[in-house]
Structure 1
Amino acid sequence: MADIQVPPMTGMTVPGCLRHFAAATPDALFVGEPGGVALSYADALEEVLAVASGLRASGVGAGDRVHLHLPNSAAFMVHLLAIGEVGAVAVPTNPESSSDELAYILSHSGCVLSVSGPLGKQAVADARDLCPDLRDICGPQDLAALGRDRRTAGPAPHGLDPIAVLYTSGTTGWPKGVVVTHANLLVAGEVVAGHLRLRPRDRWLVTLPLSHGNALFYSAMSALVTGASLVVSDGLDPAGWVDLARAHEITVTSFFAAGLRSVLATSERVADRDHQIRAAIFAQPLTDAQLTRFEERFGLPLLQIYGMTETVAPPLMNPLYGVRRNSTVGLPVLGYPVRVVAQDGGDSLSGELLVRGTPGVTLMAGYYNAPNLTEQTVVDGWLHTGDVVRVEPDGYVSFLDRAGDILKPDIENVSTGEIERVLCEHPSVLEAAVTGAADEDGEQRVVAFVVIRPGQDVTTDELLDLCITQLSPFKVPRELHLVDDLPRSATGRVRRSALGGGR
């Protein structure tokens, strides 16, 4: 008997998955908006085919890049699937992006068409002169209207074909375009769906931007591969998210740590536990006190996870059942071997995290138009994350910091994350960010920026005393500034470069 070896999910495409559920459960909800559009699987397929025909009529074909500049909406999902249907490649961006940011992304990716909503259309227009490949800018209704008049069909894409290029936030330099395939998105959906035991009756509340990997890979795709549904909201309402979850019978959701902190800053209500949410995943660290307060207040389990755009699926997650250690990023998930490599290149319990996979299936296909960078990042099947972690005695993995967030004010390395954790242990501190600034002689000093909780009062001397008692002398900030808020990217990551000083 001959062996049959089929790489996982490479025989299916993202719009092919939609077709399956449109036939199997046509009336089941696929995507809805609070108080707005609600599309069943059959409705969504009808819209996708209309937009796909509009794309072909506009001259978009296989391999062409299409800019997707829409807020969280049913239209975003429809256009993403339609772009995949024609074999083109979506380049999603946050609608609040500046024209300078868009000019780089659109020119680098060579987008031929931009689908833009009212919020971001002017910024695209302002960037157009610097984007020689961009032929047209249209609104989210234009392609569907064109397609309904001119229904056309074309060759079907393959599972290993690219479907999107997601640009990283650019917090450490020029954005990099991460290429993901149909197989990538479906594998990510399967990993998260399996880990959370998703069923067709489950429903995601998506408040994180669909232009980012967390919402797109983990929430939207896990719903699609299971025939579940998602309600997409354009941003998180810290005081009203439980009401929204209750009204739409939400069972799963996802946060960044900054969003969780903003929720905890709201007043407690009797209705905080009046919901059907059975699990919430989150990324980026919280203090033990914040974790406890959230779970006790809302009565739902939090699961800290770890992932990056390049890994597509999260290779580390806290378990839904069993011991959840949310001070860590969890355990390796099925199908994602990991290694920790010390600075000297050997295996270690503390060092850089490496993730093994197959490019285009379980890891990104590569960086767009950057083969050298791709070869430096994925070596012999191991993706070098640049993130520093520690393996605990029980096998759970603790995130320490980005390799780029390691300061060196003295002989010893200093982790910005370690100092931030200590500052956030003070009950008056809402959040903190630490960066490095260069002295006149070129030596680096540690600088901290701290946001105080509303109604609380603390002095810089008190916070420095806390650092002195809990940190080695060379780790104590030389400067500490109290600020109203921290500058952030669209996905919630603190933009350290905007804090001042040099690294």
Structure 2
Amino acid sequence: MLATGNLTLNHLLAHRAETDGDRIGLIWESADGRWAEMSYGDLAERAGRLAGGLREHGVGAGDHVVLHMTNRLEFVVGLFAISHLGAIATPTIASYAVDELHYVLDHAEVKVVICDPDRRGTATEAAALCSATPPVVVGTDELESWLTAQPPPAADVAASDTAVLMYSSGTTARPKGVVLSQQALVLSGEMNAQHQRLRPEDRSLCVLPLFHINALTISLLNTMATGSVLVVTEVFDAARYWSQVRTYGITVGSLVANPIRQLMQLPERAPDARHSLRMMIFGMALSDTEISEFERRYDVPLINIWGMTENGTIGTRCPPYLPRNPTSVGLPMPGIDLGIFDAEDRELGPNIPGEARYVGSPRLDGYYRNDEITRATNRDGRFCTGDTMSVDELGYFSFLDRSKDVIKVKAENVASAEVERVLATHPAVADAAVVGAPDAWRDERIVAFLQPVPGLSIDAEEVREHCLRHLARFKVPHEIHVVDEFPRTSIGKIRKNELRDKARGNT
């Protein structure tokens, strides 16, 4: 039996409504400065009534419902409404292009899409392309009409039932559907709450997107587990961040590298360290200098973490009170046995780089409709992360690189194969290869190398416009280079290591 037993999201919300029903649980601030708040009791009531509306539109246990929106209260209501029915929430990246969203709708055989008004056009167009029955599309501005007078009884949901299907970029041309159970989400929320030492009087600030596992488990579900308050902003705005921290009395923040760098570019002011923050959770690499300068200027410790969609963010954490190495991603979380292995499946000793593989929970149940990849990522019962790490003599892990061919752009995963697939559909492109290069602003920039069709020329701006029609903006190459031919191996594979050297200016 795991630490959270057989509890589900339905138990979590019912408990909050019963014990803290009148307490404010959520505060939302829009991009233009409007705000709204919701008590735990109101959240439970609205989630139940929305579940009634979803059921009237054909949603039942095991069905997929897409949440396609920026950070909004409706995302949280929708998540728990879907769970109420025993259905499966499928969050999607808000900036998806039509083709990307259509793939998810088709692959998951989605019944309903809940989107914000700005994404209604994309969702409607994507739904119309579905090969089976198109999903119903409803805007958040229409949801009031979907609320039934009374909520239906909650479904008999087991901890082992699927709670969310999250699409994660990887080495394939299309994102993989990561299947996470009710137990995985509740356990992740509880363990994150314990790591952050959250108390009911704490207030967490969520500026990262809820459609990613980071914000979902490190910000939302841990506050639900403790009955504390979550302040959710529609977007991250560096110029407003510290004002939001002070206005709402925030005690715990969570960021990734790029927003931290944006905060460091603000003009330094005397009140920078005057706030109530006691901890800033962060993911992704920062330099020693960046870490020490941020902590000096803002007088708050940066607590580094490592996790992934497949493990519900429960991987490693820098301990808040034990010896802390800020440049390390810390020690394994309770219940996680993490080791470093070579290609021959031998566990490696201290300070030798290899692939991080782990046993423990939470952990994905598998990749949706992809048994082949599910099997390939499991070796002797361990999940193969595809991340290259090392571990020192004290057991502190350091993240070194991704062995998967994934580019990290402002905390977003971009599969090079997905970008290459789109580039190859341009009529002037005979072949394409995409690599990442270090970038102080974006974390990594996307560098595309294109081989033209004989007799045709490639216009870089025209290619970018082509990509924008099929990809989210953050996936569009930042640099485009035309090559006569690619360096290749003896079996014809492109030597991407040579292209990476060129992209980084090493040749």
- TM-score, normalised to structure 2, is 0.79
Amino acid aligned to 1:382:
R
Offset of residue 500 of structure 1:
4.0
**Partner deviation per Cα, 1:191-229 (whole Å, 9 max, x = no partner):** 111111111111110000000000001111111111112
Bigger drift between 303-312 and 170-179 goes to 170-179
Partner of residue 325, structure 1: 325
Structure 1 pair 163–331 and aligned structure 2 pair: CA distance change class (3 A) = same
**Partner deviation per Cα, 1:210-252 (whole Å, 9 max, x = no partner):** 0000000111111111111211112211122011011111111
* Unaligned stretches of 5+ residues in structure 1: 1-5, 408-415, 441-486
Q: What CA distance in whole angstroms lies between the structure 2 residues aligned with 1:331 and 1:491?
A: 35
DSSP-derived class of the 1:138 partner: strand
Partner of residue 460, structure 1: none
Aligned residues of 2:161 and 2:182 also touching (Cα < 8 A): yes
Offset of residue 257 of structure 1:
0.4
Partner of residue 357, structure 1: 360
Aligned residues of 1:212 and 1:491 also touching (Cα < 8 A): no
Partner of residue 68, structure 1: 67
Offset of residue 434 of structure 1:
7.3
Q: What CA distance in whole angstroms lies between the structure 1 residues aligned with 2:354 and 2:61?
A: 41
Structure 1 pair 160–347 and aligned structure 2 pair: CA distance change class (3 A) = same
Amino acid aligned to 2:356:
L
| 1:276-355 correspondence runs (5 A) | 276-348=276-348, 349-355=352-358
Amino acid aligned to 2:11:
G
Partner of residue 48, structure 2: 49
Pairs aligned (count): 430
Structure 1 pair 250–309 and aligned structure 2 pair: CA distance change class (3 A) = same
Amino acid aligned to 2:215:
A
Structure 1 pair 319–238 and aligned structure 2 pair: CA distance change class (3 A) = same
Partner of residue 461, structure 2: none
Aligned residues of 2:4 and 2:187 also touching (Cα < 8 A): yes
Q: What CA distance in whole angstroms lies between the structure 2 residues aligned with 1:432 and 1:104?
A: 27
Amino acid aligned to 1:166:
M
Amino acid aligned to 1:59:
G
Aligned residues of 1:208 and 1:491 also touching (Cα < 8 A): no
Aligned residues of 2:58 and 2:111 also touching (Cα < 8 A): no
Q: What CA distance in whole angstroms lies between the structure 2 residues aligned with 1:261 and 1:314?
A: 25
Q: What CA distance in whole angstroms lies between the structure 2 residues aligned with 1:207 and 1:246?
A: 15
**Partner deviation per Cα, 1:394-430 (whole Å, 9 max, x = no partner):** 32111110013599xxxxxxxx99x94xxx8xxxx65
Matched-pair identity in %:
33
Q: What CA distance in whole angstroms lies between the structure 2 residues aligned with 1:259 and 1:491?
A: 19
| 1:389-468 correspondence runs (5 A) | 389-404=389-404, 420=438, 433=444
Structure 1 pair 271–115 and aligned structure 2 pair: CA distance change class (3 A) = same
| 1:227-242 correspondence runs (5 A) | 227-242=227-242
Say what the alpha-carbon RMSD is for the aligned residues. 2.7
Partner of residue 119, structure 2: 120
1:225 aligns with 2:215: no
DSSP-derived class of the 1:340 partner: strand
Structure 1 pair 437–31 and aligned structure 2 pair: CA distance change class (3 A) = closer
Offset of residue 147 of structure 1:
2.9
Q: What CA distance in whole angstroms lies between the structure 2 residues aligned with 1:294 and 1:491?
A: 31
Offset of residue 162 of structure 1:
0.8
Structure 1 pair 430–158 and aligned structure 2 pair: CA distance change class (3 A) = closer
**Partner deviation per Cα, 1:261-303 (whole Å, 9 max, x = no partner):** 1111111122222211110111110111111111111110101
Partner of residue 88, structure 2: 89
Offset of residue 152 of structure 1:
2.8
**Partner deviation per Cα, 1:300-359 (whole Å, 9 max, x = no partner):** 01011100000113211111113221211111111111010022321113200001125x
Q: What CA distance in whole angstroms lies between the structure 2 residues aligned with 1:63 and 1:439?
A: 43
Partner of residue 458, structure 1: none
DSSP-derived class of the 2:254 partner: strand
Structure 1 pair 162–350 and aligned structure 2 pair: CA distance change class (3 A) = same
1:152 aligns with 2:155: no
1:23 aligns with 2:26: no
1:111 aligns with 2:110: yes
Q: What CA distance in whole angstroms lies between the structure 2 residues aligned with 1:491 and 1:17?
A: 34
Bigger drift between 378-387 and 295-304 goes to 378-387
Q: What CA distance in whole angstroms lies between the structure 2 residues aligned with 1:197 and 1:110?
A: 40
* Unaligned stretches of 5+ residues in structure 2: 408-434, 452-467, 482-493, 497-507
Offset of residue 143 of structure 1:
4.2
Partner of residue 205, structure 1: 205
- TM-score, normalised to structure 1, is 0.80
| 1:124-143 correspondence runs (5 A) | 124-131=123-130, 132-143=132-143
DSSP-derived class of the 2:322 partner: coil
DSSP-derived class of the 1:384 partner: strand
Offset of residue 163 of structure 1:
1.3
